[in-house]
C-alpha cells in the first residue's frame, strides 16, 4: 500500500481529508488553490520547510499554513505518515469569522508553523468531531457544523507560541536541509525581484550555479519550475495592480516584468481561471 484515502469531503469552501502514505513525495501547498491549510499528523512524520529552515511534523503536531506564504512539505528518506488535511477558502469562512470577531488573515499570518498539541484534550475532541461529521458518524452533516468545529480547533487554543516547535537539525537530513537552504535563497531572491528577472540563465549566474542544476534542485524542493514560481509572484502582484482602474493592462504587464501582454493574460488565466480584465471587473463590482 503506497497511498490510502481514508476519507474525504468538501463542504461549501471547506475540504477535509485523511490519507495514509508510505512513499516519498513532494507537493506544493496553499498557493494554486488559494486556501488556508491545517495538517494534523496521527502517525509517521513529514518535514515542513519554510524560510530556509526544516521543521519536523510528527505525531500530535498541527501545522498551520498561511495561503499567502508559499510553503512546501516533503517526506525525506521514505518516511510514512497518516494525516488529516483541512483546506479553507477565505471567502467560505470570512462571514463566520467576522460574526465571531476573528481576524482570520492575521491568525494564519502570525501562526504559520508547526505546533505540538497532541496531549490537549480540546484539540483531540475537535479532531474527533470533525472526523465524525465528515464520515457521517455524528449528527446530520452540515457545512456550518464543520466550520464551527474547525474554528474551535484553531481559535479556542491558548498559548500557541509555547507549543511552537523549533527547527529540526538531525544529521540524517542535513544534506537535504542544505539543498533546501540553497533553493530558499533563490526563492527569496525571486520574491524580491520577480519583476526584474530576465531569464533563468541570469538567475543561475546570480547564484553561481549551472542552469540545469538550479532547475533540477528547485523542482525537487518546491515542486515548481522556476518559471512557474516567478509567475506565482507576478500574479499575486498583478491582483493589486488590477484594483487600480487607471492602470492599463499593458502597463501592468510591463511592471510585472512581462514583455508580452498576451503572455501575461495567458499566465493569469491559467492561474486564476479568468482573464485579468474579467478579474478586474469582478473585484471592482464587489467594492
Residue 211's nearest CA partner among 195, 223, 232, 227 is 227
CA angle 43, 46, 50 (to 5 degrees): 145
Q: In angstroms, what CA-CA distances link 160 with 38, 51, 112, 113?
A: 14, 20, 11, 10
Q: How many CA atoms lie within 13 A of 219 on its CB side?
A: 8
The CB density around residue 266, as the number of other CB atoms within 10 Å, is 13
**β partners of residue 29:** 71
Residue 124, judged by CB atoms within 10 A of its CB (0-12, 13-18, 19+), counts as: middle
Q: How many CA atoms lie within 13 A of 167 on its CB side?
A: 12
Backbone φ, ψ for residue 11 (5° rounding): -140, 95
String of b and e for 17-29 (b: at least 16 CB within 10 Å)? bbebbeeeeeebb
- Encode the chain (287 residues) as per-residue pLDDT tens digits: 567 888 898 888 899 999 888 755 545 444 434 688 999 999 988 877 766 567 788 899 999 988 877 655 554 444 678 999 999 988 888 888 888 888 888 888 888 888 998 888 888 999 999 998 888 866 555 788 888 888 888 877 667 878 888 766 554 555 566 777 788 788 888 988 999 998 999 999 999 999 999 999 888 777 688 998 899 889 989 988 999 999 999 999 999 999 999 999 999 998 888 999 999 988 877 65
String of b and e for 193-221 (b: at least 16 CB within 10 Å)? ebeebeebeebbeeeebeeeebbebbbeb
Amino acid at each position: 500500500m503506497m497511498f490510502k484515502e481514508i476519507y474525504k469531503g468538501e463542504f461549501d469552501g471547506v475540504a477535509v481529508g485523511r490519507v495514509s502514505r508510505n512513499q516519498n513525495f513532494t507537493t506544493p501547498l496553499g498557493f494554486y488553490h488559494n486556501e488556508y491549510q491545517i495538517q494534523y499528523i496521527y502517525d509517521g512524520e513529514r518535514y515542513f520547510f519554510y524560510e530556509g529552515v526544516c521543521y519536523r511534523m510528527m505525531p500530535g503536531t498541527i501545522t498551520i499554513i498561511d495561503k499567502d506564504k508559499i510553503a512546501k512539505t516533503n517526506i525525506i528518506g521514505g518516511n510514512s505518515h497518516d494525516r488529516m488535511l483541512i483546506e479553507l477558502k477565505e471567502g467560505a469562512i470570512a462571514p463566520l469569522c467576522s460574526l465571531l470577531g476573528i481576524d482570520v488573515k492575521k491568525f494564519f499570518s502570525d501562526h504559520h508553523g508547526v505546533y505540538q498539541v497532541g496531549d490537549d484534550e480540546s484539540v483531540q475532541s475537535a479532531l474527533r468531531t470533525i472526523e465524525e461529521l465528515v464520515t457521517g458518524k455524528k449528527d446530520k452533516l452540515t457545512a456550518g457544523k464543520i466550520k464551527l468545529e474547525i474554528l474551535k480547533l484553531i481559535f479556542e487554543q491558548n498559548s500557541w507560541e509555547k507549543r511552537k516547535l523549533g527547527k529540526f537539525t538531525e544529521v540524517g537530513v542535513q544534506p537535504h536541509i542544505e539543498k533546501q537552504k540553497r533553493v530558499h535563497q533563490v526563492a527569496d531572491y525571486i520574491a524580491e525581484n520577480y519583476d526584474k528577472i530576465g531569464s533563468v540563465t541570469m538567475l543561475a549566474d546570480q547564484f553561481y550555479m549551472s542552469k540545469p542544476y538550479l532547475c533540477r534542485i528547485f523542482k525537487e524542493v518546491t515542486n515548481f519550475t522556476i518559471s512557474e514560481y516567478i509567475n506565482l509572484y507576478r500574479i499575486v502582484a498583478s491582483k493589486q495592480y488590477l484594483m487600480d482602474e487607471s492602470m492599463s493592462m499593458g502597463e501592468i504587464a510591463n511592471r510585472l516584468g512581462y514583455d508580452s501582454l498576451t503572455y501575461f493574460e495567458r499566465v493569469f488565466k491559467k492561474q486564476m481561471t479568468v482573464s485579468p480584465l474579467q478579474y478586474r471587473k469582478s473585484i471592482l463590482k464587489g467594492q
